[in-house]
Structure 1
Amino acid sequence: MPVPSQRYVRNQLLSILGGDDYGAIQAVAESVMLGRRDILIAGKKTITHVYFLEAGIASEIAATPEGRRIEVCITGREGMVGVPLLLDVDRTPHETFVQIEGEALRIDAASFRTLIEERPNLRRTFANYAYVAHLQTAGTALSNGSHTLEERLARWLLMCHDRVDGDEFPVTHEFLSTMLGVRRPGVTTAIHSLEGGGMIKARRSHIQVLDREKLKTAAGDSYGVPEIEYGRLIRTGR
């Protein structure tokens, strides 16, 4: 697939770049489809590419040696996968895989390093995003330790809703239990609670957001800090 002109690019980081900077990215990028469960970054292995998602959602996962897994960050069309390369780090213990299928513009690691070395405006924009991603990870840790499961689930659903077109997206109870680091029955109870409040509708491995404002109320102060900082630092299209 051809790489789109900047006028049609959907990734929000790329859409705000100067024309020359986007042109430099366009010259070395390729457009790729992302299938569900595709591995974008393998834990403890050399990072080969940076991905700027055009559609879909990727999950960054931390794991223990015993195999316990929990999601620490999600990325959609607002950002990029491969932040360690921006920080001159070539690998990470975390794995990043595709949670919701989509597409992305992909740049190999060597070309990406050349771009950010030669173009300070690119590095600055991407560094702003790296800061926001750090806040999201910190917010996840705070939420896991300080908020109820219902609040955490509402936060997670809002974050996904921010990154997809429309109000419905695929997700299973089993997947949510892994992402939130809790047992499946607890996820089921929390989903029923949000559904009973008229905030969401759960059906056939999909969840539909019915009332975003009620969902934000349910999330309380677990949601919003990274989103505010993103709006302050990076012009958003949503």
Structure 2
Amino acid sequence: MPNSNAIFASLSASDASALRPHLKSVHLESRRILFDVGDVIDSVYFPTSAVVSLVVGLSTGEMVEGAMVGKDSIVGVAAAMDSKLAFTQAIVQLPGDAFVCDASAFKGVAMQSERLLSLLFRHEQAVYAQAQQSTACMAAHDVRSRLCRWLLRARDLSGGDHLAFTQEFLAEMLGVRRTSVTFDAHALQQAGLIKYSRGKIQILNVDGLHEGACECYETVRSQYAKLLGRNRKAHDARSMSGVAHG
């Protein structure tokens, strides 16, 4: 259901009704590239269980993650709204479901709603703030605390404790050597926080990861809570009103 996406769930009844006919359910496979740098965005995605990384490529071929988004976000909305090219690559990090909307149809609905436009601006602020936080995190925090933060964020967005990640992919997203990830993942496993095998990580101790994570995890959570706060209350109020009059 579209309402499994927090942004869609926070829309007004009229905005949701206007968008719903344009939504198509899709399953996004791991490593699928939704768009690349320089692409014209023709689709907007509302993830419901898929997790997507917004990454920046370097001339050396390395990739660094700027933001991790999922059921708390929309993918591709900024470029779709102003017809500009994508300046990051969007790659599916964890497979799952999403709803996709034609970018032109999405823009048409958004331009008719001041409330929806306001939400979209705040959403883009939150994604931009997350990217800024990631930059500061890479500069100031050690690999282990960043790894804890990254695993917690992936768990929040996927809704499960089993994450299908290779250490190579983790190293790419964190912008470090694989040996660094191997060392710190082993330390977390020895501490009983995670269990990992080839291509799979199971989170065993969420509280332990919270203790080991850098401050950036809670900062990003707070940013998204502020993003959805007002709209979530309005959505809940409408739902209760509907029950009262049903």
1:165 aligns with 2:145: no
1:100 corresponds to: 94
1:69 corresponds to: 63
Q: Which has the larger displacement, 98-107 or 194-203?
A: 194-203
1:79 aligns with 2:73: yes
1:136 corresponds to: 130
The DSSP-based 3-state class of the residue aligned with 1:223 is: helix
Say whether the 8 Å CA contact 1:133–1:226 is kept in structure 2. Answer: no
Q: TM-score, normalising length from structure 2?
A: 0.88
Say whether the 8 Å CA contact 1:84–1:91 is kept in structure 2. Answer: no
The match for 1:14 among 8, 24, 28 is 8
The match for 1:186 among 171, 180, 183 is 180
Whole-angstrom distance in 2 between the partners of 1:35 and 1:233: 28
The DSSP-based 3-state class of the residue aligned with 2:215 is: helix
Q: Residue 93 of structure 1: CA displacement?
A: 2.9
2:201 corresponds to: 207
1:128-165 Cα shifts (integer Å, max 9, x gaps) = 22111111111110110000000111111011011012
Structure 1 ranges of 4+ moved more than 3 A: none
- Looking at secondary structure, tell me which structure has more helix per residue: 2
Say whether the 8 Å CA contact 2:51–2:157 is kept in structure 1. Answer: yes
The DSSP-based 3-state class of the residue aligned with 1:175 is: helix
Q: Which has the larger displacement, 82-91 or 38-47?
A: 82-91
The DSSP-based 3-state class of the residue aligned with 2:222 is: helix
1:57 aligns with 2:84: no
The match for 1:145 among 131, 134, 139 is 139
Instruction: Give ranges in structure 2 of 5+ residues lacking alignment.
Output: 233-246
Say whether the 8 Å CA contact 2:27–2:98 is kept in structure 1. Answer: yes
Count, aligned residues? 231
Distance 1:220 1:74, change over 3 A: closer
Distance 1:131 1:93, change over 3 A: closer
Whole-angstrom distance in 2 between the partners of 1:61 and 1:49: 18
Whole-angstrom distance in 2 between the partners of 1:81 and 1:74: 10
1:26 aligns with 2:39: no
Whole-angstrom distance in 1 between the partners of 2:65 and 2:224: 20
Q: Residue 126 of structure 1: CA displacement?
A: 2.1
Q: Residue 92 of structure 1: CA displacement?
A: 2.1
Task: In structure 1, give the amino acid aligned to 2:159.
Answer: D
2:37 corresponds to: 43
Whole-angstrom distance in 2 between the partners of 1:86 and 1:41: 12
RMSD (CA atoms): 1.7
1:91 aligns with 2:85: yes
Whole-angstrom distance in 1 between the partners of 2:46 and 2:63: 24
1:123 corresponds to: 117
Q: TM-score, normalising length from structure 1?
A: 0.91
Instruction: Give ranges in structure 1 of 5+ residues lacking alignment.
Output: none
Say whether the 8 Å CA contact 2:94–2:158 is kept in structure 1. Answer: no
Q: Residue 231 of structure 1: CA displacement?
A: 1.3
Say whether the 8 Å CA contact 2:51–2:92 is kept in structure 1. Answer: yes
1:226 aligns with 2:220: yes
1:155-212 Cα shifts (integer Å, max 9, x gaps) = 1101101101221110011111111111111100010111122211112311111111
Whole-angstrom distance in 2 between the partners of 1:20 and 1:83: 19
The DSSP-based 3-state class of the residue aligned with 1:55 is: coil
